[in-house]
Amino acid sequence: MNKVTQPNGTTVDKDEIAAWNALAATWWNPNSETRWIHRYNPLRVGYIRDAACRRFQRNPAQTKPLDGLRILDIGCGAGILCEGLAPLGATVTGIDPAQIAIDAGKLHARESGADVDYRCATAEELGKAGEKYDVVCTMEVVEHVADRDLFLKQCADLVKPGGLLVLSTINRTAKSMAFAIVLGEYVLQLLAIGTHQWARFVKPAEVGAVMERNGMRIKHISGVTMNVFARAMQFTRSTGVNYILTAERPA
């Protein structure tokens, strides 16, 4: 496995960064290899909005329910989630070590008028600068890093007292091997073959253990599945494949 140590101390595959950079030109094309992110995004945005509204006592029906909150998206790519969150009123920052993807995000934001602060940066760099956020998101990222526990610690360190971490990833089960890799990559071709490595998938209990060690606790978890007929993502009670969770830091 070809690895390089990034500035944040987290070892990642050099090929991972290259892969996300390679997608930059078509990131915003809903019919490209990123189409699954476009289909998942409404569900992700709604989940984050509702979790933040519960935590900060906001009304999700308001036009800008997240007004005044600072949100960080770690591993933002070209910004599909960031641009989904920005209209809700939050101050949104998106970071990613893939420079070409960040450049694509900046270009799209200029074209769309989205107010997003994109940075080619790592979680550790922001932590060293003393930055803190009301909501930290890392969506479909942790399964791509080599040092999972270090990465999760760096994410948790950026959460303010009273704040939230929202994470989505893939469980490490036999079912996820069948659905996320065999079905998702080989049969339905929702992702390029080789996008995921099953050994890097993460069990919810493993996320919970790292959160506990870093002063946080998981408060909510939901499974996520694809409706193969509608080709859309939806919530489910089973966390056997994809899941999304919220962890809180005490005020």
Where are the domains positioned within the chain?
3-248
Distance CA 185, CA 173 (A): 16
Stretch 119-129: mean pLDDT, rounded?
95
User: How do 116-119 and 91-95 pair as beta strands?
Assistant: parallel
Task: Tell which wins on pLDDT, 249 or 17.
Answer: 249
CB of 201 closer than 8 Å to CB of 174: no
Distance CA 181, CA 187 (A): 9
Distance CA 196, CA 215 (A): 30
The pLDDT-based confidence of 2 (bands split at 50, 70, 90) is very low
For 60-115, how does the pLDDT look when each residue is reduced to its tens digit (9 = 90+)? 999 999 999 999 999 999 999 999 999 999 999 999 999 999 999 999 999 999 99
Distance CA 24, CA 30 (A): 13
Tokens (6 digits) for 249: 């830091």
Phi and psi at 96, nearest 5°, equal -160, 140
Q: In what order do the strands lie in the sheet with 232-236?
A: 116-119, 91-95, 70-74, 133-139, 159-170, 242-248, 217-227, 232-236
In b/e form, how buried is each residue of 59-81, taking b as 16+ CB within 10 angstroms? eeeeeebbeebbbbbbbbbbbbb
Amino acid at 104: A
CB of 5 closer than 8 Å to CB of 140: no
Q: How confident is the model at residue 189, as a pLDDT? A: 72
- Reduced to 3 states, what is the DSSP secondary structure of residue 227? strand
Stretch 174-192: mean pLDDT, rounded?
75
Distance CA 216, CA 231 (A): 35
Give the DSSP H or E segment for 193.
Answer: none
Tokens (6 digits) for 42: 């409404």
The correct answer on CATH 3.10.129.10 for the domain covering 3-248 is no
pTM surpassing 0.85? yes
Residue with tokens 């253990």: 209
Q: What is the mean pLDDT of the chain?
A: 89
Highest mean pLDDT pick, 120-124, 147-151, 161-165, 184-188 = 161-165
The pLDDT-based confidence of 229 (bands split at 50, 70, 90) is confident
Q: How many CB atoms lie within 10 A of CB 5?
A: 11
Dihedral sign from CA coordinates of 141, 147, 148, 150: negative
For 17-30, how does the pLDDT look when each residue is reduced to its tens digit (9 = 90+)? 777 777 788 889 99
Q: How confident is the model at residue 178, as a pLDDT? A: 85
